Amino acid sequence: MSPDRPASRPGAWWVAGLAVVVAAPLLAASLRAEGGGPGTVAGWALGIALTWTVGGLLIMRLAPSNLAGRAPGRAPKVAVAAAGVGLAAASLAGGLVLAGIPATAPWVAGPVAAAADGRWGVLAVALVAGVAEEVFFRGALPRLLTGPARWVVPTAVYALVTLCTGSPALAVMALLLGPVAMWARETSGSLAGALFVHALWTLTMVGLFPAVVVRVGIAG
């Protein structure tokens, strides 16, 4: 499978830059809005998701991919599923370690509190946001790059933008999620693999992780 060709239209790069410039302050603002309740946070999150989605779709229109669509065989499907489960399990274990260490417990306290406050609504919004992030970072942005940069640049930008939430833990998770989701996209031959990996990670870390932290008694 040959890598995607870089975009021939500079307009795609302008769209990518604009999307990042708009989304980063929105993420920072969403952190300050946490005191307004789940509804307020959800509003900001959906605004960020809209930014990633519109930006990603515009890039895809300006920079068509030469990655041929194909139905993956059983082996790629099993490999992607195993990678998704492995990432979710590793993230859950790593999050529990961070929550149990006094120096790093504050890193996860904010996300845990946000997820626990209106958990199902937050989970639904997180799933929507995950789809939008994959559209932009694994579906669109790699089209503008070649070689290893197709993996490194989207993951680095993803982690830096995530750091705007004020949570180092989420930025670290982005560094883990990015390459696995990109690998799943390449292995499956479509964005569906990345979407599966991200959705499973979200269900684990937003839906399950806060409850586990409380259950084992290490909530901040």
Calculate mean pLDDT across residues 42-68.
87
Q: Any idea what DSSP says for residue 8?
A: S
Report the distance separating Cα 116 and Cα 209, nearest Å: 9
- Give 215: exposed, middle or buried? Use CB within 10 Å, 0-12, 13-18, 19+: exposed
Please, are residues 129 and 49 in contact by the beta-carbon 8 Å criterion? yes
- DSSP labels, 145-175: --TTHHHHHHHHHHHHHHGGGS-HHHHHHHH
pLDDT at 69 over 60: no
pLDDT at 74 over 90: no
Q: Which positions ≥6 away from 193 have C-beta within 8 Å? A: 72, 76, 80, 181, 184, 185, 186, 187
pLDDT at 137 over 80: yes
With a pLDDT cut of 70, the percent of the chain lying above it is 82
What per-residue confidence (pLDDT) applies to 72?
55
As a whole number of Å, the end-to-end CA separation of the chain is 46
CB atoms closer than 10 angstroms to residue 103: 7
Calculate mean pLDDT across residues 1-6.
49
Q: Per residue in 88-134, pLDDT tens?
A: 999 999 999 988 898 888 888 877 776 666 677 788 889 999 999 99
Kindly provide the b/e burial profile for residues 61-81, where b requires at least 16 CB atoms within 10 angstroms of the residue's own CB. Answer: ebbebebeeeebeeebbebbe
What per-residue confidence (pLDDT) applies to 155?
97
What per-residue confidence (pLDDT) applies to 88?
97
Higher pLDDT, 34 or 101: 101
Residue with tokens 């586990």: 212
Question: Which range (41-50, 63-72, 120-129, 141-150) has the least confidence?
Answer: 63-72
Please, are residues 174 and 162 in contact by the beta-carbon 8 Å criterion? yes
List the chain domain ranges.
10-215
Q: Any idea what DSSP says for residue 203?
A: I
What per-residue confidence (pLDDT) applies to 115?
66
pLDDT at 7 over 50: no
- Identify which of 42, 36, 218, 210 has the alpha carbon closest to the alpha carbon of residue 115: 210
Confidence of residue 34 (pLDDT cuts 50, 70, 90): low
What per-residue confidence (pLDDT) applies to 2?
46
What per-residue confidence (pLDDT) applies to 117?
65
With a pLDDT cut of 90, the percent of the chain lying above it is 54
What mean pLDDT is reported for the chain? 85
